[in-house]
């Protein structure tokens, strides 16, 4: 059991698997419950005992179909896990979450302000509603960036 967990983690890096939908893609939806209350209580009442740990790394391959695996970047996975914080960061134009997303996307210091302003101005286009998925957000974000002369180079 234990060995197999790690074997899978090493081979496929599953850290985000729990948040992915059964199909291929980043399944997290904004404002949707993700954590299991049971594990929360367990972690809260002990010094951090918990069973679902991995050796997973930054890039994940979600095995939605064993014959073709899709690899996600660290930025994609970060967004998938932190939708509500990223949304807040975009809306306010400040904070750790939007900065982390920018860093993970590789956005250079000189373009950061442009990125943050662009996401604030286009908040309603990036987060189109209260039930968008991480996939939707990424697609909209990338199309906004493509239209910006200094941000286009970060999306290819």
Query: Exactly one of 18, 23, 32, 147 binds another protein (CB under 8 A); which one?
Result: 32
* Residue 50 within binding range of another protein, rule CB under 8 A: yes
Of 70, 78, 66, 87, the closest CA to residue 16 belongs to: 78
The DSSP secondary structure of 51-116, one letter per residue, reads S------SSEEE-SSTTS-EEE-HHHHHHHH-HHHHHHHHHHT-SHHHHHHHHHTT--HHHHHHHH
Contact pick of 8, 17, 104, 155 for another protein (by CB under 8 A): 104
Nearest partner of 138 among 76, 78, 86, judged by Cα: 76
Nearer to another protein, 45 or 67 (CB): 45
Measured at the CA of 147, the angle between CA 100 and CA 128, to 5 degrees, comes to 65
Closer residue to another protein (CB): 65 or 147: 147
Q: Nearest 5°: CA angle at 139, between 135 and 141?
A: 115
The strand pairing partners of 60, in sequence order, are 72
Minimum CB–partner distance for residue 141 and another protein (Å): 14
Q: Which is nearer to another protein, 65 or 94 (CB)?
A: 94
Query: Would you count residue 124 as binding another protein (CB under 8 A)?
Result: yes
Q: Considering the complex, what minimum distance in angstroms separates the CB of residue 66 from another protein?
A: 20
Closest separation between CB of residue 5 and another protein, Å? 8
Binding positions for another protein, rule: CB under 8 A = 2-3, 6, 10, 15, 29-35, 37-40, 42-58, 74, 77-78, 81-82, 84, 87-88, 90-94, 96, 99-100, 103-104, 106, 120-121, 123-124, 127, 129-131
């Amino acid at each position: 059991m234990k060995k197999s967990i790690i074997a899978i983690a090493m081979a496929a890096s599953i850290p985000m698997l729990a948040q992915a939908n059964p199909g291929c893609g980043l399944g997290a939806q904004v404002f949707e419950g993700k954590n299991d209350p049971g594990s929360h209580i367990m972690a809260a009442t002990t010094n951090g005992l918990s069973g679902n740990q991995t050796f997973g790394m930054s890039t994940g391959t979600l095995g939605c179909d064993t014959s073709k695996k899709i690899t996600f970047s660290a930025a994609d996975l970060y967004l998938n896990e932190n939708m509500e914080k990223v949304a807040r960061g975009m809306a306010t134009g400040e904070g750790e979450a939007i900065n982390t997303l920018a860093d993970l996307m590789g956005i250079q210091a000189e373009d950061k302000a442009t990125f943050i302003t662009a996401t604030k101005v286009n908040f309603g286009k990036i987060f189109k509603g209260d039930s968008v998925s991480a996939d939707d957000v990424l697609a909209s974000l990338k199309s906004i960036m493509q239209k910006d002369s200094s941000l286009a180079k970060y999306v290819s």
